[in-house]
Amino acid sequence: MCDECGCQAGGASSEKKVIEINKSLLDANQRLGEKNRHHIEQMGAIAINMISSPGAGKTTLLEATAERLSRATRFGVIEGDIETQRDADRIRAKGIPAVQITTGGACHLDAALVHKGIHELEHLLGPDELDLVFIENVGNLVCPATFYLGEHKRMVMVSVPEGSDKPAKYPRAFIGSDLFIISKTDLLPYFDFSIEEACSEAKRLNPDIKILTLSATTGTGVDEWLEYLNKILLEK
């Protein structure tokens, strides 16, 4: 819950207690995340945790993926939102199984919520029916970066309208990710967005991060995204 974000207003003693308790909660989250990973692997699948600000285009990329990824790859989606079923409805409209997790105010998914989502997805499909699970996190470039959900790959997305200063301003999501997607590149002519700045800042924070640029609307760069998915599926 956002209500439970610690802050310095309560004095050193309360603050220390909160830090201690939250450390144990984070440790518990990590352990449950590892269980989730094991569970997903037992289903024969791998999972990708998608992190971005609201409206960066995560759901639109999943819609394009539903249209263009080879039918041989079976995938499902766990949608995390504070409120509404809208994103899961958009995915289901493309014929892809999706479960919606509404966090009821919380600013990120955690491993316990995703655990529930995995069971719902399994119940929907039966075992051995999945190769790939996308976990679309709550739209927030900050807090989701702290919570391991059991994913095999973590991706962070920034859309062109948000500005190329975002890696420098929100470093943690980039430090912890395997893939950085710059989305809505069809809008580059209308914005003062420097691909070079965004990439060099992301690489400075995380030299191993892979970077893709794409527009899910026009389709530019989507082939490279599908290639990336096929590659990590082959490695599993």
Tell the smallest beta-carbon distance from residue 74 to a copy of itself (Å).
28
* 94 lies in the site for a copy of itself, by CB under 8 A: no
Answer yes or no whether residue 172 interacts with a copy of itself by CB under 8 A.
Answer: yes
Binding mask 183-212 for a copy of itself (x = CB under 8 A): -x--x--x----------------------
Q: Which of 63, 91, 136, 170 binds a copy of itself (CB under 8 A)?
A: 170
The rounded Cα 79 to chain-centroid distance in angstroms is: 10
Is the CB of 52 or the CB of 130 nearer to a copy of itself? 52
- For a copy of itself, the closer of residues 69 and 117 by Cβ is 117
Query: Among 125, 168, 188, 195, which residue interacts with a copy of itself (rule: CB under 8 A)?
Result: 168
**In this complex, which beta carbon is closest to a copy of itself, that of residue 124 or of residue 142?**
142
Cα–Cα distances in Å, from 16 out to 19, 123, 132?
5, 42, 40
Strand partners of residue 20: none
163 near a copy of itself, judged by CB under 8 A: yes
Q: Which residues contact 37 (CB under 8 A, 6 or more apart)?
A: 47, 150, 151, 152
Nearer to a copy of itself, 36 or 65 (CB): 36
Distance separating alpha carbons of residues 23 and 102, to the nearest angstrom? 24
Is residue 147 a contact residue for a copy of itself (CB under 8 A)?
yes
Name the nearest CA neighbour of 90 among 136, 51, 122. 136
CB under 8 Å to 18, separation ≥6 — which residues?
6, 10
Q: Does 119 bind a copy of itself (CB under 8 A)?
A: no
Q: Which residues pair with 102 in a beta bridge?
A: 81
Q: What is each CA distance from 193 to 4, 168, 196, 219, in whole angstroms?
A: 35, 14, 9, 19
Q: Which is nearer to a copy of itself, 87 or 122 (CB)?
A: 87
As a whole number of angstroms, the distance between CA 216 and CA 199 comes to 19
Phi, psi (degrees; rounded to nearest 5) at 153: -135, 145
For a copy of itself, which is the closer residue by CB, 29 or 65? 29
Which residues are near a copy of itself by CB under 8 A?
1-11, 14-15, 17-19, 21-26, 28-29, 32, 53-55, 81-84, 86, 105-108, 110-113, 138-143, 145-147, 158-159, 161-163, 165-166, 168-172, 184, 187, 190
